[in-house]
């Protein structure tokens, strides 16, 4: 059988492979983001981490109020768990005593932007300002560098992740959504998290959900009884030489 090769198709394949190689090198060299290969190469944040051990991260977004924050911190302390809190700048500047309290509890702090905007609608300079000023507000209280970022509403595009990466931030999403912002009951929130968690999961919660503080002790106790341990996101993720698959799962590069 004689096979006829279409030169145009061959050149297209070669060009695509070359593009993927370039993007892969770029991703690995920065150590701050990875490339998702679908029909079109694009950048994606970390939704979860490929871990063989039963380790997860519980995270809290801070944008509105503090009424339940002390109860959450107390539950974390009782269970000897360190979480990650993502803070918006206007929350940080309004409640510096809580920023300090969270930091001194041993928990980790990342930025959740400056103004809680849909950041895929911003240009690179606007994104830089959102990340820079919000991080500076946190660092002025804690004295610690911020290198984790969660986009408000989980809204992102290539420009956002690329810009965040160039500034040295790891963009973090989640694979377990508690939906605590919908004011679900504590048991409903807890069961969503407990049933969704797996090795390397990143759990999304909010510091001021109506029943979040009631759900947290149930989540921590149940998952611990199932053999899971908790670490901050910064200790869960790979920081260099990684890839991210189509589900947003971060894996060590082979």
Task: Count other Cβ atoms within 10 Å, centred on residue 254.
Answer: 5
116 annotated active-site? no
Which of 112, 175, 180, 206 is an active site residue?
206
Residue with tokens 């390397």: 200
- 3-state class (DSSP) for residue 242: strand
Residue with tokens 């503080």: 213
Going from the C-alpha of 217 to that of each of 22, 94, 101, the distances in angstroms are 46, 27, 19
DSSP per-residue letters across 115-151: S---GGGS-HHHHHHHHHHHHHHHHHHH-----EE--
| Dihedral pair phi/psi, residue 183, rounded to 5° | 60, 35
Which of 61, 112, 116, 180 is an active site residue?
61
Among the listed residues 178, 239, 161, 245, the one whose alpha carbon sits nearest the alpha carbon of residue 213: 178
180 annotated active-site? no
- Residue 55 is given by DSSP the state E
The answer to whether the Cα torsion of 58, 175, 133, 70 is positive or negative is negative
Catalytic residues, which ones?
61, 206
């Amino acid at each position: 059988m004689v096979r006829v090769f279409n030169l145009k198709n061959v050149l297209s394949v070669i060009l695509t492979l070359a593009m993927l190689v370039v993007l892969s090198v770029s991703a690995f060299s920065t150590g701050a983001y990875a490339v998702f290969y679908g029909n079109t190469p694009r950048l994606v944040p970390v939704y979860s981490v490929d871990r063989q051990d039963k380790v997860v991260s519980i995270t809290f977004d801070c944008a509105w109020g503090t009424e339940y924050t002390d109860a959450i911190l107390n539950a974390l302390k009782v269970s000897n768990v360190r979480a990650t809190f993502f803070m918006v700048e206007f929350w940080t500047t309004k409640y510096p005593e809580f920023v300090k309290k969270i930091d001194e509890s041993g928990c980790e702090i990342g930025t959740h932007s400056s103004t809680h905007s849909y950041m895929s609608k911003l240009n690179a300079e606007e994104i830089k300002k959102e990340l820079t000023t919000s991080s500076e507000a946190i660092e002025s209280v804690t004295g610690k560098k911020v290198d984790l970022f969660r986009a408000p509403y989980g809204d992102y595009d290539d420009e956002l992740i690329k810009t965040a990466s160039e500034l040295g931030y790891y963009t973090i999403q989640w694979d377990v959504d508690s939906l605590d912002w919908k004011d679900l009951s504590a048991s409903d929130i807890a069961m969503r998290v407990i049933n969704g968690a797996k090795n390397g999961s990143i759990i999304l919660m909010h510091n001021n959900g109506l029943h979040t503080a009631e759900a947290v002790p149930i989540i921590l106790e149940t998952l611990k009884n199932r053999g899971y341990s908790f670490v901050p996101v910064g200790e869960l993720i790979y920081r260099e030489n990684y890839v991210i698959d189509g589900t947003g799962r971060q894996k060590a590069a082979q």
